[in-house]
Copies of this chain bind each other. A is one copy, B any other.
Amino acid sequence: MAWPEPRNTGMIYRRLGRSGLHVSAISLGSWMTYGGYAQDEEAFACMKKAYDLGINFFDTAENYTAGQAEIVMGKALKHFGWKRSDLVISTKINWGAVNGDILVNNHGLSRKHVIEGLEASLERLQLKYVDVVYAHRPDRLTPMEETVRAFNYVIDQGMALYWGTSEWSADEIAEAVGIARDLRMIAPTVEQPQYNMLVRDKVEGQFQRLYERTGLGLTTFSPIKMGLLSGKYNDVVDGQPPKDSRFGASKDGFADFMRGRMGTDSWKEEIKQVRQLKPIADRLGVSQSQLAVAWCLKNPHVSSVITGASRPEQLEETVGALKILDKLTPEVMDEIDVITKNKVELDPARQS
């Protein structure tokens, strides 16, 4: 009896930092979409498409759409019956006030909330464990030792296999790693920051000494900066969203936020840069979205780029970015740096 033949999807898998866990270089996040503006059928279809494209890493959080994102993902995982070991599921803990009434202990990184929050997430996901649990933002008022112990505890209890951080500063990560080492506990393996052509300082600057010293991996979000780098707002310079955009009339908080940004000085400056990137995408024969995603993956510290999708076709386009990595030669990367003017030079004094 022989092994079943694995699928050949062309997906690229990378190690999560220095760890032994492999994640698809492109992953599917559920922020705002599943349980939110996307219908369950759309969410299911996107997850199916992602799996078929070789994506094995699905990311969510306890607070995405007040817990609904986890519920929808859990239903889909159960529905499709994929083998658990073929999947890497992550969630994030910090705001978990689902049905809460006295909210003080339903957020933060106290021992109480990390444990209770993850237990509630696992129930919504209908899973025995997640592969990665993230500390969703730092909690600067809770002692780091309490937080490190709590994440180590949930791993010891079999509720998670690895833990990471999201939007922490370099010194916070370093402190957590140091405390974990002193206590002989498991240190965070991965950080999840925003990273794209327009936002580079943290990943390329602040974290530069952590990669080698702690083996830190990155799963990055917002590769097209909430749509901006796709070029779809290239003509929106005066603050009026396109009529057919979902921001045109939608009344949710995010739409408000986006409408508020449009037309500001920083918006105009960013749009200006994005428009300059268009000729490069055209020349390479790719969409601006693909260029933006591929650009993130050129950074070897990025284990996976988390993307959102409310329609399966979007995923097909995004995954297409994997095929153009070779086109992003050093010369093209330099061209982009000239436009974005935000390349982080390594500080010799900060080298290890």
Contacts and interface: CB of A to CB of B under 8 A. Distances in A.
Contacts of A56: 102, 104-105
Interface string A136-169: 0001011100110100010011100110000000
Interface stretch (A84-92, A319-327, A335-343): A84-92
B113 A85 contact: yes
Contacts of A84: 116
Contacts of A19: 110-111, 142-143, 146
Contacts of A158: 115, 157
**Chain A interface, >50% SS class:** loop
Interface in A53-104: 54, 56, 63, 65-66, 68, 82-88, 96-104
Contact of A111 (B111, B146, B161): B161
A199 interface: no
A237 interface: no
A105 to B, nearest CB: 5
B106 A85 contact: yes
A202 interface: no
Nearest to A187: B145
Contacts of A183: 184
A46 interface: no
A4 B68 CA distance: 13
23 contacts: A1-B35, A1-B65, A1-B66, A3-B63, A4-B66, A4-B100, A6-B102, A20-B108, A20-B141, A20-B143, A20-B146, A22-B104, A22-B110, A51-B102, A56-B105, A83-B99, A85-B96, A85-B100, A85-B106, A85-B112, A86-B103, A111-B162, A112-B161
| Nearest 8 Cβ contacts at the A-B interface | A20-B110, A20-B142, A22-B104, A6-B103, A86-B102, A85-B116, A13-B104, A56-B102
Given A20-B110, A20-B113, 16 more contacts: A3-B97, A3-B98, A6-B102, A6-B103, A7-B101, A7-B102, A20-B108, A21-B112, A22-B104, A54-B102, A83-B101, A85-B96, A85-B116, A86-B106, A111-B162, A149-B186
Interface of A: 1-4, 6-7, 11, 13, 15, 18-22, 35-36, 51, 54, 56, 63, 65-66, 68, 82-88, 96-106, 108-113, 115-117, 120, 131, 139, 141-143, 146-147, 149, 153, 156-158, 161-162, 183-184, 186, 215
